Structure 1
């Protein structure tokens, strides 16, 4: 078997990136107005044309107040808009569960609330074809005039493998010394073997490993008649020494481009603890390499994090730059879910460069704040600029954005309109769909809303509690204590009969005990 090697040693770049904080998917109430081509579209429902003031916009606008809330929308109607790129990552939640199970509290900087919320099944209606349905609902929190408003986006259900385009997957596997920890490399090998058996005969697989250098163990190979070859390559994998992650990703993308299949979904699957300690130190090099492959060849990234020590921030940033997603695997149950459920769903795309824009009516809304999505915000004026990067979403996904909203005392009428815009994954034609919410549709209490809305609230409040140590972090309105939150989650686990909700209740209980 021919083996291609790269001796570029770029990995310490990533250690530097982690140290510098530079870098950081599961197997309704709104009106649905239908999709339309952007060139025929009226302006997005809005109450002004400027940008929401943000705490950290990277030059996209002004700033939120010291609590992270938007200013009074009536003072400047432009402030009634909020725009962000969609994201279906879940790694932050799963890594937090792992950390709590090990008896520690996760670092608040690793908590991304949207990844907690997006880790759970939702009750949104799904579309028949590509694109999204839009659900907007809400409930009052009990805190004066404050409500939680849920914007839910859903793609169509994933169909059988033989109904999707073929896939060309390049697995980039970390075989550095840190992967020798029990449950890392062995788990990855077992998962890859299971995944190989579940892919179709017309799918292709390549395998790249990296430690101090990177190696193409298996070039792009069609599975039909060659599954044994793929299994043999997986069986040979052993851990080595240091972690040159940059060399691994660079070689992985080069292998993916070399084996590129037109008409197929071309994706790099990076499996690593993202703890780099060897190689080049320029943090922009790998990001530019990923960006070039994404723009010129349409190769996307699926990041799978492993290990009790894990470079969460780095993996998350790599996936964002590579138009992909990140998940975290802590054991065989997680591995089965990721490789047998989530990854197959992410082989196909139903929407590219998807963005959402929510317009709050300044006559009824005084303050609002999006929960999470801190690094996914987009300038409001760029909502219909299709050159501006959005999120890539596959079938079977839901995306939830939760807002804390303070209504004006006694206000009645229209509260918000949510619009999602995306490009067709094949034609690149733009489409939009919207949903609305009236104040009269708000439930009287979060805890009398639908069970799935309540699960969303518990997940958001849980993330909020874990972030409480962050400077300038203000708690969400109506936040219960961890003991009460654990009781809510336990009750919901019984109502929904959902194992994921049971695990949520367990994690909240572990966090509560760690405080006590």
Structure 2
């Protein structure tokens, strides 16, 4: 059966304020689900929220026969939230670059989940393939009444060392169009590929495809052992040319990847570009349709690496999402070393295919909820166990964090939510699941000064992203206070990445003239 992608897209209108601290426990068993079981269970969403019932103002869109007039019967209340897992971080990297250049990022380029997922969370990791599931949270602000911030954390096993990972067969597809003619674009790409060539093992192999108005193979698949000089020469030979035909480059790249496919190796296409497509096919879906058979039959995924101060963020994200891959962004050599040296095994190996998460909120305790971000990754609730519907591809060493705004019912006590992650084994395609849940019982202080440092970092990143998108979350600190909190967290965690977050927030605050007030007194708004 052909694969289907079904997502629901929409703007976020989030309103966070204080509430009850939610502390969670991770756990649950891993289920190996047979095809017969999947068929029986696909008819209903899972996990089912205990107790049934309805939550105020949280409903699916009204359904009715097309073309009929008159009132339509409301659909049943919806206590499920389902999305494909995502480990992209390009939105945050590009925002940092834009702020450093003295400009505010466009709101359309800001995806909160990519800000949050740029930071370590310290989740417990499983021993083998699969995920651990952790659910916790805290009161989101001092004046928010009964709103809380709930965190769902998913983690894969630790990434192997370079010596332990399987061999790699990488096809580099490099944009050499005129727009790449600067040191922070093609120059940075050359530096990055030089770093990677030195980092790869002798039993790894690479090929090189370049594209401008047309695509050509500069180097067929070549083993590193005994050929590093040849590979360096091929990389150094790249010079900027004409326009940007990304479609031609991706097609040629997949042709080379198939020709050089190595059984038992991690086969990847790595696209390095500013993603400013202006020639040939410029629609991500059309480009991927042309290489769909190679992508599916050989399991070759697409890893996007964005560069440049003017960057086609939306196009690159769409391309890698549809190409069963993920995206990052690099602005300098330090970030290139982080991606191509420190994080290399996580970018090469897969531990889970088509991974999705579903959170079932308990209607006895929860009145409203809203997922922060993931607009482009939402999945219909009924498709959670439909393995023909596309999910996310996740490697070792990755974590995925989803934050929710949650409003509890008056006097709520007990179970709040159960989170389930479902994925397919990359080799056998067997389905597995893991669950975790959270209750209201362990109430232990507010977010600021009460919750763990990593939850506070996630909250700062989410509030920062929402501010850049023009949101105004009730209870959210202004940018000045967020910068101070990030600076304090950087010192307490001794984490340089959090210090850089503080710098970025401070830059945004100055560009906005220090006008970012707290959203504590903003109206509650709708939770659609």
One fold, TM greater than 0.5? Answer: yes
Q: Distance in 2 between matches of 1:297 and 1:340?
A: 26
Structure 2's unaligned 5+ residue stretches are 1-22, 64-73, 514-528
Q: Distance in 2 between matches of 1:166 and 1:242?
A: 34
1:181 shift after superposition: 1.6
Provide Cα deviations, 1:322-355, integer angstroms capped at 9, x if missing partner.
Answer: 0001001111111111111233321110111100
1:296 shift after superposition: 2.2
- Out of 201-210 and 439-448, give the one that drifted further: 439-448
Q: 2:32 aligns with which of 26, 30, 37?
A: 37
Name the structure 2 match of 1:502.
Answer: 499
SS in 2 for 1:440: coil
Which residues of 2 match residues 27-176 of structure 1 at below 5 A? 29-39=24-34, 44-47=46-49, 62=61, 78-141=77-140, 142=142, 143-176=144-177
Question: Against the structure 1 CA distance between its residues 63 and 95, is the aligned structure 2 distance closer, same or farther, given a 3 Å change threshold?
Answer: farther
Name the structure 2 match of 1:230.
Answer: 231
Matched, 1:513 2:513: no
Question: Against the structure 1 CA distance between its residues 54 and 159, is the aligned structure 2 distance closer, same or farther, given a 3 Å change threshold?
Answer: farther
Which residues of 2 match residues 170-319 of structure 1 at below 5 A? 170-280=171-281, 284-319=285-320
1:442 shift after superposition: 4.7
1:212 shift after superposition: 1.5
Question: Against the structure 1 CA distance between its residues 375 and 184, is the aligned structure 2 distance closer, same or farther, given a 3 Å change threshold?
Answer: same
Contact 1:34/1:434 (CA < 8 Å) preserved in 2? Answer: yes
Q: Distance in 2 between matches of 1:127 and 1:63?
A: 41
1:227 shift after superposition: 1.8
Q: Distance in 1 between matches of 2:62 and 2:343?
A: 36
Question: Against the structure 1 CA distance between its residues 450 and 382, is the aligned structure 2 distance closer, same or farther, given a 3 Å change threshold?
Answer: same
Name the structure 2 match of 1:461.
Answer: 463
Q: Distance in 2 between matches of 1:209 and 1:275?
A: 15
- Out of 311-320 and 231-240, give the one that drifted further: 231-240
Q: Distance in 2 between matches of 1:371 and 1:34?
A: 27
Q: Distance in 1 between matches of 2:76 and 2:298?
A: 41
Name the structure 1 match of 2:404.
Answer: 403
Contact 1:355/1:383 (CA < 8 Å) preserved in 2? Answer: yes
* RMSD of equivalent CA atoms: 2.4
SS in 1 for 2:314: helix
Contact 1:138/1:442 (CA < 8 Å) preserved in 2? Answer: no
Normalised TM-score (structure 1): 0.87
Q: Distance in 2 between matches of 1:455 and 1:342?
A: 21
Count of residues paired in the alignment:
470
Question: Against the structure 1 CA distance between its residues 326 and 123, is the aligned structure 2 distance closer, same or farther, given a 3 Å change threshold?
Answer: same
Name the structure 2 match of 1:8.
Answer: none
Name the structure 2 match of 1:452.
Answer: 454
Q: Distance in 2 between matches of 1:290 and 1:456?
A: 37
SS in 1 for 2:26: coil
Structure 1's unaligned 5+ residue stretches are 1-27, 65-74, 469-473
Name the structure 2 match of 1:475.
Answer: 472
Name the structure 2 match of 1:19.
Answer: none
Q: Distance in 2 between matches of 1:418 and 1:77?
A: 21
Provide Cα deviations, 1:213-272, integer angstroms capped at 9, x if missing partner.
Answer: 111001111222222221121121111121111111111111111111122211100000
Name the structure 2 match of 1:484.
Answer: 481
Q: Distance in 1 between matches of 2:169 and 2:412?
A: 54
Contact 2:82/2:380 (CA < 8 Å) preserved in 1? Answer: yes
Provide Cα deviations, 1:420-449, integer angstroms capped at 9, x if missing partner.
Answer: 011111111111110010012354311110
1:29 shift after superposition: 4.0
Contact 1:213/1:247 (CA < 8 Å) preserved in 2? Answer: yes
Q: Distance in 2 between matches of 1:290 and 1:268?
A: 12
Contact 2:284/2:315 (CA < 8 Å) preserved in 1? Answer: no
Question: Against the structure 1 CA distance between its residues 76 and 416, is the aligned structure 2 distance closer, same or farther, given a 3 Å change threshold?
Answer: farther
SS in 2 for 1:493: helix
Q: Distance in 2 between matches of 1:385 and 1:282?
A: 26
- Out of 352-361 and 218-227, give the one that drifted further: 218-227
SS in 2 for 1:237: coil
Provide Cα deviations, 1:380-419, integer angstroms capped at 9, x if missing partner.
Answer: 1111111111000000000000001001121111000000
Provide Cα deviations, 1:8-41, integer angstroms capped at 9, x if missing partner.
Answer: xxxxxxxxxxxxxxxxxxxx94221121112369
Contact 2:160/2:345 (CA < 8 Å) preserved in 1? Answer: no
1:278 shift after superposition: 2.1
Q: Distance in 2 between matches of 1:433 and 1:282?
A: 36
Contact 1:47/1:77 (CA < 8 Å) preserved in 2? Answer: no
1:282 shift after superposition: 6.1
Q: Distance in 2 between matches of 1:350 and 1:432?
A: 13
Which residues of 2 match residues 375-414 of structure 1 at below 5 A? 375-414=376-415
Q: Distance in 1 between matches of 2:61 and 2:257?
A: 41
Contact 2:49/2:417 (CA < 8 Å) preserved in 1? Answer: no
Contact 1:404/1:477 (CA < 8 Å) preserved in 2? Answer: no
